[in-house]
Amino acid sequence: MASTQLHGASVGDRIYRYTTTAFALSIPLLLVLLAFEVAVAAWPALKAFHLGFLTSSAWDAVNGTFGAAPAIYGTIVSSLLALLIATPLAIGVAIFLSEFAPSWLRQPVAFLVDLLAAIPSVVYGLWGIFVLVPFLREQVMPFLADRLHLGDTPLFSGPAYGPSMLAAGLILAIMVLPYISSVTREVLMAVPRSQREAALALGATRWEMIWGAVLPYASSGVMGSVILGLGRALGETMAVTMVIGNRHEISSSLFAPGYTMASVIANEFSEATNDMHLSALMAVGAVLLAITLMVNIIARWLVWRVERRGQA
């Protein structure tokens, strides 16, 4: 009968809708649960040390005092250093691929750049330990300190061990480059043809068109891609842990070893035997989670703004 068929269809629809809704909701729910659990576990440490947890450099598991400042500092400095190195390169790659590359070269190069993102973190770390760190210790650091006489400046002072903030920044730069360049490329390609034609018709060269019309139109999206890269860099663990030297100390020198929040957790979770130590690690995790969430939200928002404008 027609009416039962109609009825049956609507029941099927409803079941389908409820199941997919449930699936869709489960992901954000998982995130909320995870954040909640971390916060609960972190609570004892945060309560014991208050703001000192964020500002103190004393991390002493034996005496039970925990200050995460060196790890927070290391995470931020290594990530910013990575962006400083990777951003110009990545934007250059994106401009080349979206504007200049002949079509036969575009796909292969884009694929190879994207492939950088597919290399396992631990492989980067291994390469870092056996290639990058010795190279820095024997070539780059002596060159910067002695040849360029930068050894007396705070940024490049101190002995050249090899494992260092500089090594971490460099390896992170290579790792975030594909993220920045592929999102930037997409944003550049989303710039409408009419904007390019407007610039060309006013007598712009191709470079002037890119610099004066395409990049400004895409600027907030490019910004978003950079922040997306920052989000990646902040949370990267394995490779950084392998090359940064893992020392709880804030040093102005990029040659000095440091620590990051992710490395602290990775290195110490197995030996955290007392409750306060475990809680302190959870608190580090909570801070890291909060920072990366914030950074990613900002990045998504910026990229979304450009895409919306491109459609309008």
Asked if 204 interacts with another protein (CB under 8 A), we say yes
How many Å apart are CA 186 and CA 175, to the nearest integer? 19
Q: Please, what is the minimum distance in Å from the beta carbon of residue 182 to another protein?
A: 24
Asked if 55 interacts with another protein (CB under 8 A), we say no
Measured from the CB atom, is 166 or 191 closer to another protein?
A: 191
3-state percent breakdown (helix, strand, coil) of the chain, nearest 5: 80, 0, 20
Asked if 105 interacts with another protein (CB under 8 A), we say no
Asked if 58 interacts with another protein (CB under 8 A), we say no
How many Å apart are CA 174 and CA 85, to the nearest integer? 9
Asked if 200 interacts with another protein (CB under 8 A), we say yes
Q: Please, what is the minimum distance in Å from the beta carbon of residue 287 to another protein?
A: 37
Asked if 310 interacts with another protein (CB under 8 A), we say no
Asked if 202 interacts with another protein (CB under 8 A), we say yes
Measured from the CB atom, is 217 or 259 closer to another protein?
A: 217
Measured from the CB atom, is 28 or 102 closer to another protein?
A: 102
216 touches 261 (CB < 8 A):
no
Asked if 194 interacts with another protein (CB under 8 A), we say yes
Q: Which amino acid is at 29?
A: L
Nearest by Cα to 77 from 170, 215, 196 = 170
* CB proximity list for 289: less than 8 A, separation 6 or greater: 35, 38
Asked if 201 interacts with another protein (CB under 8 A), we say yes
Q: Which amino acid is at 264?
A: V
Asked if 15 interacts with another protein (CB under 8 A), we say no
How many Å apart are CA 97 and CA 106, to the nearest integer? 6
Restricting to residues 213-252, name those near another protein by CB under 8 A.
213, 216-217
CA distances 139 to 130, 134, 142, Å, are 14, 8, 6
Residues in contact with another protein by the rule CB under 8 A: 192, 194-195, 197-206, 208, 212-213, 216-217, 309
